[in-house]
Structure 1
């Protein structure tokens, strides 16, 4: 970019609060027991070198957000440093997808195929692998898309060719380990999609997923010549995972989602139900695995969710166990908390009183260590857990480096260097007092499972106010003080409301403001507390009369632009960046509406005036949406406004006139998804901008900064950390340490070396 130079001395390093989401798949290195790889629906691929106890992201070289939404991956049994990943998403009913290849154990990746669409955060994300390397032919790789059909590579993934198979929704693709040249491909029918999606809104499953009908039934295809010709073996159940019996090449087991576990004795032509001893009614089955040390033993687990009270806490079942009846499944153990170690306390955020009740939620994959007898691994909603004793006890290692952390926002303490508070979609806030090297938890409140915005009191650094979201789309402002073990809800909010931002008055301690979005008629707007957050009242701010929800264009902004997954609402959408308080004037407050304007109050919210004239709201042909506003800490009338697509704008006269500050090249796009403003030694504004990658405008992930108020800009080199979905950046009180947070990719810290 013109005007951009490479930064020197400033490096973003992974904080101890790692990224992650639903861990949807797990594979083991074919020659090293302690090396494992995990795939995630929003955060890419992770590697563990110590048998699953600590993890690090392996996403170098990625550029698009959907490259982190991994539906499948594979490791070459011939050259284990070679890995493949299939990633993609859907926006505006268009599927995107890429196959990437790594030749260095996942440290760096390059795109090798774009012929298939994948749905890494979609309804089939927790099922079998749809990419596979032939165990008999090192150069042959096969992959089946959510769209685009099934493709074959005959040069180790360098080039690809589509096969004649129909463009169905592939759920598993597998080469037979015992029959050279034999390849299976199973599909998933419309009737067997994840019904959880249907519960999130109107329009039915396919409507919510922006999907099209692809056949009500599942099918199983087979090729005996490495994909040149195909035969249809079976129609009926959907095939989520295939497993091959090492004792007999004609015997197969399959996880068939709502149709349970099925077995075949004739190579997949006919199938019999094998559910004796398993919970049957209303359960999905997506994984089945053979024990290589005891081949008569098989393991599976239903995809249990919190409301399934009749399902055991960790629903792991085995068949062929000692003393069992042939063909019957037995529960391995009725687990309790004493059987679990290294599971974080936040796993009880649904108030069950037991971490065991959450440890087995949404198990996506079970694998048996091929080198160590009775050593098991499971992947689920929270991370990866390890069992050294055949599934009787489990250790999670506190999911170090691999957590369900779609972070919403970050704020800094006003008087303590290196202290930040981070909010996230699935957990209460976390606090670091050493710049991101370690974190501790703020308490949640029963009935609420995630946090959205936060502020740390200037006068009392042990006093925190933060937004929480709960079940049934409820929310509240929570207060935690004096280092106690509990928090209290000081402003409960009704269904559909959401605490988007919290700020303390820039001059007067103890006065706080809250931006609540949602239906205006239900109370969305700006709130004020004059007693340290204990009580709240709504201010006089009202959006234009035609605006009935905040954001006004809610579905387009949250589903198409800012949400990490297409069907979710209120997940990292402008969180904590659309409200600002002037550091020079008591009661001077800014509020932004994504598409309609900016308003300012000079009296703490009693009166408001519009100051957004001249800004690129609703600019024709672009996704021009306001996403961040801020006052200058050095100039009383200087205001910044950051837009998706249209970059950073500045007003030097209190909002009467505006001019574009970055980027200045005609036609260049930059998404200001995170904005931080500080001070350099000369009294100029220090500006940090981060852009999350978006499909809608074809942008890549970037982070830039200026040490002179926006005259000159430098860019951080971030190819090693991939396509980070930046959501917030904060500078500490000395403007030297910074903490950036992302939706799924973890937190990152840096020090501005030029200021030290």
Structure 2
């Protein structure tokens, strides 16, 4: 609502009414003085006529309905908002779930906060609605490595300028550094490409990227393999700094760079495994500080120039002042310490945390580390499904005092972001702020004809029955009403009764696996009565007519069959070994949606089929192309209709239960695809594709005529580029489609 515009319209309307009233009275007075029989009557008529016209004109100028909405206007506005929302992809609200490896608060601008994540990109805080805005979602699939957050640096002299070092893995494509002058709305790639590892070892330490507070043109970046780099023109060009020896641990490198905000050109750098170096000329030349910690984690400088350091393999917390080191570790603990911050308004107030543990401890000191107090915590979770482990703030990566709000501090950990409004209470109350931060890795998605609009199988936090819809956090994980798994790898339902659901998963941390069944669409679960030990299940398919019969593919072993709901299992000897898991998103297994005894399996360019309930398979087609990135699906409600995507080799369809396949000629690449509910009046399933259509750029498309013609449903500002790995379409609502990613959660769009 634009209050200034409203005030201007009201003032204009009142002015028109006032002037009109004066003119009407003048005119009426002049007429009444006429020496005619009905002068007074005509004067009244003139006055009322002019007042009516003036009032009409004033009302048209004010246009009250533009800001006082009638029910009809409200409905029109709601429809317009719904139509606009359908034009873009949005995240299914889950509530975090991924490692937030750093948090950054601008020293000049209140509420200007950024976070980096290991595999979900970078975000900026929106204080108006208490959400996180993803600021790297414009990277397409070809640049998916840039969703790895290696480091971030703010220009302390310009709140609009921010730099990011982006790259996921050392073994993948080189990472790079990007610059934004509008707080992350757009990015400029800088001329520096180096191996980076936002999801590599010691990613919770930092910060590798720093801007000189006395000269914003000077930027330093510590790499994992190639030493220290320096720019003296705001990142336009870079040069390697050879005066700092590259004696750091291989693959870890220069993990931290910190400028002193008090002394011009004074800067410290951590060479992990070697020690801490110091420069007094803004990073041109360096010398090692004698007796410095060998394995520092993080550094912080107080306003009086004292350097504080957390470490492992030695004193957990040390300080450097007057050219001397002091051990100030809380309780003389032998634990590794990681996160540390010094209050910008009190140089003696310090917060530290232990690191790399599920049982994280927090300590505070108000006398520069001479004494410490263990900080008790009360957890106020805004995400209903967060379980006990997540509320313990495991593996804290960063803590920061808020420089603009007294009493406020921020903290990030393995699953999300926490904030307290009063760090001086005991216990300290921490609240998590997760809206907008969606970093979950997706293994599988199912949208059954009945029940919840979506069931999601994910890594690290099991999976979800989306009982609150797509725009609210789920009430609980699958394990909230049944067995809890670290990962759920696959979900399938029985076509005859879609509320009968099967899921498979397990715990990578102790190598135990299995599955569970549900009779209420995934709201509650019962663990399989038995499951073979040390076997990792990857995919599951359920008979269309008998929910007790389902097949499970096994990592690097032959698939298994149960005919009694998981009580007994038999190996399917006529099928080849499955792919190695769990980080595999191929979909080789499907059940016929009509014939409960028929199952299909793709492997190595061959199509296998069973017509005896999965006990035996035979090859019915061995002329298909080979591709390890493949997906086999059956058309909803149609017997014997199969669809097979083979990535760069395209999309194929069979109408005779796999005996022959025809290539869809318009599809040049089929990375992902899905089949969903037909539009009204049609029996042809809606077909969705993440790939390449002839004559069009790579993107996301929909076809309503089995692939003859296509409509783009892409959003150029939201290409869904963070390794999309699964696609699903609603069986309940035409036009609703989902895409799961490898670190940016689940996207959806209503394409009606």
TM range (shorter): 0.7 to 0.9
Residue matched to 1:476: 514
Q: Cα distance, 1:587 vs. partner?
A: 1.6
Q: TM-score, normalised by structure 1?
A: 0.78
Residue matched to 2:745: 746
Q: Cα distance, 1:143 vs. partner?
A: 1.1
Residue matched to 1:697: none
Per-residue CA distance 1:506-530 (angstroms, 9 max, x = gap): 3x2535423231253xxx4132445
Residue matched to 2:434: 399
Residue matched to 1:170: 254
Q: 2:608 aligns with which of 587, 599, 616?
A: 599
Indicate the SS of the match to 1:720.
coil
Instruction: Give runs of aligned pairs for residues 273-284 of structure 1, distance below 5 A.
Output: 273-280=327-334, 283-284=335-336
Q: 1:182 aligns with which of 263, 266, 278?
A: 266
Q: Confirm or deny: 8 A CA contact 2:538 2:582 kept in the other structure.
A: no
Larger relative contact order (CA 8 Å, sep ≥ 6): 1
Residue matched to 1:449: 486
CA distance, structure 1, for counterparts of residue 128 and residue 86 of structure 2: 34
Q: Cα distance, 1:301 vs. partner?
A: 0.5
Residue matched to 1:489: 527
Indicate the SS of the match to 1:426.
coil
CA distance, structure 2, for counterparts of residue 639 and residue 8 of structure 1: 33
Matching of residue 222 in structure 1 with residue 301 in structure 2: no
Count of residues in correspondence between the two structures? 646
Residue matched to 1:34: 111
Indicate the SS of the match to 1:396.
strand
Indicate the SS of the match to 2:486.
strand
Identify the structure with the greater helix proportion. 2
Instruction: Give runs of aligned pairs for residues 529-678 of structure 1, distance below 5 A.
Output: 529=563, 533=565, 535=567, 537-538=569-570, 540-544=572-576, 547=577, 550-551=578-579, 554=580, 570-571=582-583, 573-574=584-585, 577-593=587-603, 595=604, 597-617=606-626, 624-633=627-636, 636-661=639-664, 670=669, 672-673=671-672, 675-676=674-675
Change (3 A) 1:231 1:676: farther
Per-residue CA distance 1:431-485 (angstroms, 9 max, x = gap): 2357622333344156632322223455656544222312412112113445998
Q: Confirm or deny: 8 A CA contact 2:96 2:415 kept in the other structure.
A: no
Matching of residue 373 in structure 1 with residue 406 in structure 2: yes
Q: Highest CA radius of gyration, 1 or 2?
A: 2
Residue matched to 2:221: 143
CA distance, structure 1, for counterparts of residue 313 and residue 130 of structure 2: 32
Q: 2:700 aligns with which of 698, 703, 714?
A: 703
Instruction: Give runs of aligned pairs for residues 78-97 of structure 1, distance below 5 A.
Output: 78-90=157-169, 93=171, 96-97=174-175
Instruction: Give runs of aligned pairs for residues 427-438 of structure 1, distance below 5 A.
Output: 427-432=461-466, 436-438=470-472
Residue matched to 2:342: 290
Q: Cα distance, 1:304 vs. partner?
A: 4.7
Change (3 A) 1:94 1:59: closer
CA distance, structure 1, for counterparts of residue 664 and residue 404 of structure 2: 58
Per-residue CA distance 1:257-283 (angstroms, 9 max, x = gap): 33322221246xx53432241521xx3
CA distance, structure 2, for counterparts of residue 751 and residue 484 of structure 1: 23
Residue matched to 1:342: 381
Residue matched to 2:726: 728
Matching of residue 271 in structure 1 with residue 325 in structure 2: yes
Unaligned runs of 5+ residues in structure 1 are: 1-6, 190-217, 307-312, 349-353, 555-568, 618-623, 693-699
Q: 2:313 aligns with which of 248, 258, 277?
A: 258
Per-residue CA distance 1:604-640 (angstroms, 9 max, x = gap): 11221124523232xxxxxx31431012347644422
Unaligned runs of 5+ residues in structure 2 are: 1-83
CA distance, structure 2, for counterparts of residue 344 and residue 501 of structure 1: 29
CA distance, structure 1, for counterparts of residue 730 and residue 661 of structure 2: 28
CA distance, structure 1, for counterparts of residue 271 and residue 148 of structure 2: 20
Q: TM-score, normalised by structure 2?
A: 0.78
Change (3 A) 1:607 1:459: closer
Q: Confirm or deny: 8 A CA contact 2:385 2:477 kept in the other structure.
A: no
Q: Cα distance, 1:42 vs. partner?
A: 0.8
Change (3 A) 1:701 1:294: farther
CA distance, structure 2, for counterparts of residue 442 and residue 358 of structure 1: 15
Residue matched to 1:696: none
Change (3 A) 1:110 1:464: farther
Per-residue CA distance 1:208-267 (angstroms, 9 max, x = gap): xxxxxxxxxx232333223333333356512322211211x3x21112233322221246
Q: Confirm or deny: 8 A CA contact 2:674 2:727 kept in the other structure.
A: yes
RMSD value, Cα: 3.2
Residue matched to 1:717: 715
